[in-house]
Amino acid sequence: MSLPAGISISDDDYPELEAVAAIQRGLHGYNQEMGGPYDREPVTVLARDENEVVKGGLLGLTYWNWLFIDWLWLSREMRGKGLGTELLGRAEALARARGCTDAYTDTFSFQAPHFWERNGWQEAGRLDGMPPGHSRIWYRKKL
């Protein structure tokens, strides 16, 4: 394969921030050309104890009328107490208020996939063997 004139390809374990930003800007620009403006807004819902220590939280984005949940975590002592459902419900309500009609996330089979199903989410895709002995699972929900 021959490269376009003046172009070189290199591996870079520690790319400069400007190189990363150029890739992100380029892809975001193309995505918006094809899909329309993102109107991306962060979603952050935190659970703190009486000392303001974060014991759990949810991080995501809303864009293109979708809620994307990137991270949902609870400290070990907070699991099984309904806190995850509360965080998720608040994020879904915030997304609805922003006009979102759908939501998606991904998780691993060792990260309580039944939690998502109990909260009305449906499996939308799966990669078995990622990581070995487990699966990566995508979920979606109509808001």
What residue segments make up the domains of the chain, in order of their start? 41-142
Which pTM does this prediction carry?
A: 0.87
In the CATH scheme, what is the homologous superfamily, with its name and number, of domain 41-142? Gcn5-related N-acetyltransferase (GNAT) (3.40.630.30)
pLDDT at residue 44, rounded to an integer: 98
Residues 58-95: pLDDT tens digits? 999 999 999 999 999 999 999 999 999 999 999 999 99
Q: What is the DSSP letter of 110?
A: T
Query: Would you state the pLDDT for residue 38?
Result: 86
| Residue 143 pLDDT | 98
8 Å CB contact between 55 and 48: yes
State how far the Cα of 42 lies from the Cα of 39, in Å rounded to an integer: 10
Q: Residue 57: what pLDDT? A: 98
Q: What is the pLDDT of residue 39?
A: 86
Q: What is the predicted pLDDT for the residue at 88? A: 98
Residues of the chain with pLDDT under 70: none
d(CA 96, CA 76): 29
Furthest-apart CA pair in the chain: how many Å?
Answer: 62
Exposure of 14 in the CB half-sphere (CA atoms within 13 A): 0
Cα separation, 117 vs 100, whole angstroms: 20
